[in-house]
Amino acid sequence: MDEDVLSLVVFSGTDDKLQAAAVLTAGAAALERPVRLFLQYWGLDAFRKDRIDRDHGTSPEAGPEGRARMLALRTAGQATWVETLRQAKEIGQVEIQACSLSMDLLGLEPEDLDPLVDGVEGVAAFFVAAGGGQILFI
């Protein structure tokens, strides 16, 4: 049971990486695997409620062409990572936790975060919940 849990450490705060994390989350949730997201650094910053719907840019490796392709898919109607995470939470067991150290780093309080975020936890709590399941760092 423990090994079914998929844990994603979401470190990056650009839209391409958040999109990839959201798609992985939705896929695992669809297969009834519990999924836990642990938000650190810029990944956490992207979940601030005053910024979550903003353009978060793309990672450097995307380059101008990658960025243009991301925008084209968006224009064609691709669900945003925020929408995909909301859907994943609707259909499956998905828990999103903010890293307490990153909260301190960014000077954030729980009320500064979008309601998608379920709570704040430390790294030990993260590993206990991850159990023997896979952990991915994005």
Partner 1 sequence: MTDTATPPVSRTIDARGSFCPGPLMELIRAIREGRSGDVISVWSADRGSKTDIPKWVEKAGHRLVGVYERDGYDEIVVEKIR
Residue 138 CA to residue 88 CA, distance in Å, equals 18
Contact between 106 and partner 1 per CB under 8 A: no
When the beta carbons of 55 and 90 are compared against partner 1, the nearer one is 90
What count of Cα atoms within 13 Å lies in the side-chain half-sphere of residue 115? 3
Q: Using CB under 8 A, pick the residue from 18, 21, 26, 70 that binds partner 1.
A: 26
Bridge partner residues of 119 (DSSP): 97
Measure the N-to-C terminal CA separation of the chain; round to a whole number of Å: 24
Binder among 2, 3, 57, 91 for partner 1 (CB under 8 A): 91
- Six-digit token pair at 137? 């760092």
Contact stretch for partner 1 (CB under 8 A) within 47-55, 56-64, 87-95, 114-122: 87-95
In the list 20, 62, 71, 79, the residue contacting partner 1 (rule: CB under 8 A) is 79
d(CA 9, CA 119): 15
CB of 77 to partner 1, least distance (A): 5
Question: Which CB sits closer to partner 1, 88 or 103?
Answer: 88
Pairwise CA distance, residues 78 & 138, whole Å: 21
Binding site for partner 1 (CB under 8 A): 23, 26-27, 30-32, 73, 76-79, 84, 87-88, 90-91
